[in-house]
Amino acid sequence: MIRRVAFAAVACVLSASACAPITSYQGFQAVEANPKDIKVGEDTKASVTERLGSPSVVATFDPNTWFYMTQVSDQVAFRKPIVRRRDIVAVKFAKEDQKVEAVNTYSLKDGRIISINGARTPTRGRELSVLEQILGNVGRSTLSPKEDLSPGDRPGNN
């Protein structure tokens, strides 16, 4: 009787611990410095790099905008991860003197869901059937048996 109760208790503890979420931390983690400590008009690219490190992403069309991104997510067993927290700090620098022009902070609430357009772009040309694709290159060998090729050589480059 005592063994059954102990076994049931161990089984309950193990099953409860199996459903505990696994927390993942991705991106920039502010350990010693806080992005809120950056002073507009005083700090430069060098001082921001020294304080926060290299950015997570530099803007594609404006290299004077740096992004520091952090994300915390939980995953339980085989389910999809749930994003619990996401913070993005955008630091914009002036082009003339490389000093901080603006510091903007965005959170998960500021994000937007973007719907994916499933339309396809048509391509020109003829679509080949599976059989044409398989048998299309039969007999089109460019190697001749008389050529002596060593590894890395291309046929016809002698």
Give alpha helix (H) positions in 19-150.
45-52, 130-135
Provide the pLDDT for residue 101.
Answer: 93
Provide the pLDDT for residue 125.
Answer: 75
Closest C-alpha among 42, 35, 34 to residue 101: 42
Q: What CA–CA distance (Å, rounded) separates 99 from 38?
A: 11
Mean predicted confidence (pLDDT) in 5-17: 62
Instruction: Summarize pLDDT for 34-88 with one digit per residue, the tens.
Output: 787 888 989 999 999 888 888 989 999 989 999 999 999 999 888 899 999 998 9
* Dihedral pair phi/psi, residue 89, rounded to 5°: -110, 120
What the block records as the tokens of 74 is: 């939980």
Domain ranges across the chain: 21-110
Instruction: Summarize pLDDT for 84-130 with one digit per residue, the tens.
Output: 999 899 999 999 999 999 999 998 888 888 888 888 887 777 777 88
Q: What CA–CA distance (Å, rounded) separates 11 from 3?
A: 12
Whole-number mean pLDDT of the chain? 81
Q: What CA–CA distance (Å, rounded) separates 96 from 16?
A: 58
Q: What CA–CA distance (Å, rounded) separates 89 from 102?
A: 10
